[in-house]
């Protein structure tokens, strides 16, 4: 098991990555905890590895429903009420066992319960292990938008057991690889292509280390932490456009990590248009996306103007168009992008596809 530390001044915490990391749960729980709740989803409870998740103190298992639609305040309310009913105290511990939905919801419930109760993340999706479970951003969606209510609340530890990924669907693997593609561009001025050739344990550990370093440098999301959103401005717009107003029918079947891969290709081509990088660097982006088995093409019927509207609404944009873009010094936050350049880049992508 590889240990990565998130070096936060007041309270550093470990991210443990590897086969069997789940068996270390009891060791990372504070000795002041006398009771635990394991928050998870019904399907995960049925996986063989679930039985090994043992906090070695009295515990209850609480299920939350599956999917983004359950990542809401009603689920948090149901959860914290169950915490009261099972007698969870403020020195006890919440253990989130699942992907980003579970860690976001359980983390936010822990942040609010008694104004802050310790929690540990057992991340069971690739996306959770390389991204969502690390860094202390917790929260839920509102009908008006994603992740609009939340808190910064750091876990006591994150366990990334590679064995739990054996039950993950191909689609969810691809989703996690979209985030891994992003990490290849986040450090230094040249892409870290060696990341792609590592074993899965080393790959997760390397991504966790990059995220840990960025979070330690900027816990509350100034410009440094914003680089973690590389590829995400267009990705969020695609996800929003996939679910046009009040229809439950998705226009496109695109998962988050798949949208990030498209967002990375878009960001590279926008940076090229703005003269920040050259064609070779765009080709490197394409190479990384393709090597990870992802498709960086826009959906065929995407409407550039509609995507632009969603991007203008992005909460990272302070009323102007802000992107994380590659350049000679590596990726940076760039504000005040001309909408015409965005539309032209989207048009180029449409011509390609
Ligand atoms: N807090 C953050 O910093 C952060 C960062 C990135 C994403 N997120 C959030 O994470 C969420 C997405 O997370 P996700 O992609 O992990 O989705 P998810 O939690 O919905 O998991 C995807 C699916 O995989 C299933 N699953 C989980 N682990 C499994 C396993 N080991 N075997 C079989 N099936 C398993 C889940 O039940 C679910 O059906 C989004 O809501 C996003 O906003 C948060």
- Identify the pLDDT of residue 245: 65
Q: 320 exposed, middle or buried (CB, 10 Å; 0-12, 13-18, 19+)?
A: exposed
Lowest mean pLDDT among 19-28, 103-112, 211-220: 211-220
SS3 213: helix
d(CA 235, CA 256): 7
pLDDT, tens digit, 9 for 90 and up, residues 142-190: 988 788 999 999 999 999 999 999 999 999 999 999 999 999 999 989 9
Distances, alpha carbon 189 to alpha carbons 161, 326, 328, in Å: 31, 9, 6
What's the confidence (pLDDT) of residue 320?
Answer: 81
Decide whether any atom of ligand 1 lies within 6 Å of the 131 Cβ. yes
The whole-number average pLDDT for the span 228-254 is: 85
Q: Mean of the per-residue pLDDT values for the chain?
A: 94
Q: What percent of the chain has pLDDT over 70?
A: 97
User: How far, in Å, CA of 125 to CA of 53, rounded?
Assistant: 15
305-318 tens-digit pLDDT: 999 999 988 655 56
pLDDT class of 269 with cuts at 50, 70, 90: very high
Residue 353: predicted pLDDT: 61
CA distances from 87 to 84, 111, 113, 169 (A): 5, 17, 12, 36
CA distance 81 to 104: 17
The response to whether residue 21 sits with its C-beta less than 6 Å from ligand 1 reads no
Quote the ligand 1 centre to 252 CA distance (angstroms): 19
Substitution candidate for ligand 1 out of 98, 236, 239 with most atoms within 8 A of CB: 98
- CA angle 288/174/191 to nearest 5° reads 20
Confidence tier at 232 by pLDDT (50, 70, 90): very high
Distance, C-alpha 290 to centroid of its chain: 21
Residue bearing tokens 């202390």? 136
Active-site hit among 3, 66, 221, 290: 221
Question: How far does CA 252 lie from the centroid of its chain?
Answer: 21
Residue 317 confidence (pLDDT): 55
Q: What is the pLDDT of residues 281-303, one digit of tens each?
A: 999 999 999 999 999 999 989 99
Distance CA 272, CA 269 (A): 5
Structure tokens at 129: 């292990």
CA atoms within 13 A of residue 222's CA, in its CB half-sphere: 5
Ranges of beta strands (E only) in 187-253 are none
> Average pLDDT of 247-266?
89
On whether the CB atoms of residues 34 and 89 are closer than 8 A, the answer is yes
**Count H helices, E strands: the chain?**
13, 11
Annotation says 225 is catalytic: yes
- 158 CA to centre of ligand 1 in angstroms: 15
Ligand 1 pocket member 125 (CB < 6 A)? yes
pLDDT in tens, 66-114: 998 999 999 999 999 999 999 999 999 999 999 999 999 999 999 999 9
Q: How far apart are CA 94 and CA 107, in angstroms?
A: 8
Q: Atom 5, ligand 1: which residue's CA is nearest?
A: 132
pLDDT score, position 168: 98
67-82: burial string, b at 16+ Cβ within 10 Å, e else: eeebbbeebbeebbeb
- Containing H/E element for 198? none
Q: Report the interhelical angle of 256-273 vs 279-291 (nearest 10°).
A: 170
Average pLDDT over residues 10-18: 96
Among 99, 115, 110, residue whose Cα is nearest residue 156: 110
- In this predicted structure, the answer to whether residue 326 has a pLDDT above a threshold of 70 is yes
> Of 11, 115, 318, 319, which one is the catalytic site residue?
115
Hey, which bits of the chain come out as E strands? 2-6, 13-18, 35-40, 58-63, 93-98, 119-123, 137-142, 145-152, 157-161, 323-325, 332-334
- The dihedrals phi and psi of 157, each to the nearest 5 degrees, come to -170, 160
Instruction: Please give the number of the atom of ligand 1 that sits closest to the Cα of 165.
Output: 31
CA of 132 to the centre of ligand 1 (A): 8
Overall pTM surpassing 0.85 (yes/no): yes
Angle at 324 between CA 101 and CA 144, to 5 degrees: 45
Tell whether ligand 1 has an atom less than 6 A from the beta carbon of residue 95. Answer: no
256 part of the active site:
yes
Whether 179 is catalytic is yes
- With a 6 A CB cut-off, is 302 part of the ligand 1 pocket? no
Record the tokens describing residue 228, joined without a space: 């973690």
pLDDT computed for residue 222 by the predictor: 82
């Amino acid at each position: 098991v590889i240990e990565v530390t998130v070096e936060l001044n007041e309270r550093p915490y470990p991210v443990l990555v590897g086969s069997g990391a789940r068996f270390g749960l009891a060791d990372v729980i504070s000795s002041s905890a006398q009771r635990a709740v394991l928050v998870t989803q019904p399907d995960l409870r049925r996986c063989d590895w679930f039985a090994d998740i043992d906090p070695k103190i009295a515990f209850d298992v609480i299920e939350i429903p599956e999917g983004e639609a359950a990542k809401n305040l009603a689920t948090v309310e149901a959860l914290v009420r169950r915490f009261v009913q099972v007698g969870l105290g403020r020195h006890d511990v919440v253990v989130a066992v699942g992907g980003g939905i579970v860690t976001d919801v359980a983390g936010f419930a822990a942040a609010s319960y008694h104004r802050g109760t310790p929690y540990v993340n057992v991340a069971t999706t690739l996306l959770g292990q390389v991204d969502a479970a690390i860094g202390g951003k917790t929260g839920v969606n509102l009908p008006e938008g994603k992740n609009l209510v939340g808190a910064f609340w750091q876990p006591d530890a994150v366990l990334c057991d590679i064995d739990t990924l054996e039950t993950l669907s191909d689609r969810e693997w691809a989703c996690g690889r979209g985030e891994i593609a992003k990490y290849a561009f986040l450090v230094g001025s040249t892409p870290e292509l060696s990341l792609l050739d590592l074993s899965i344990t080393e790959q997760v550990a390397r991504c966790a280390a990059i995220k840990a370093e960025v979070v330690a440098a900027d816990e509350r999301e100034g410009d440094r932490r914003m680089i973690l959103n590389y590829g995400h401005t267009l990705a969020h717009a695609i996800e929003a456009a996939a679910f046009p107003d009040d229809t439950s029918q998705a226009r496109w079947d695109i998962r988050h990590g798949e949208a990030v891969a498209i967002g990375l290709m878009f960001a590279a081509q926008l940076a090229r248009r703005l003269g920040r990088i050259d064609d070779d660097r765009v080709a490197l982006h394409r190479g990384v996306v393709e090597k990870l088995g992802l498709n960086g093409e826009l959906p065929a019927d995407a409407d550039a103007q509609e995507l632009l509207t969603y991007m203008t609404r992005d909460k990272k944009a302070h009323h102007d168009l802000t992107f994380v873009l590659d350049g000679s010094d590596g990726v940076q936050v760039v504000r005040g992008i001309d909408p015409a350049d965005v539309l032209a880049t989207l048009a180029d992508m449409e011509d390609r596809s």
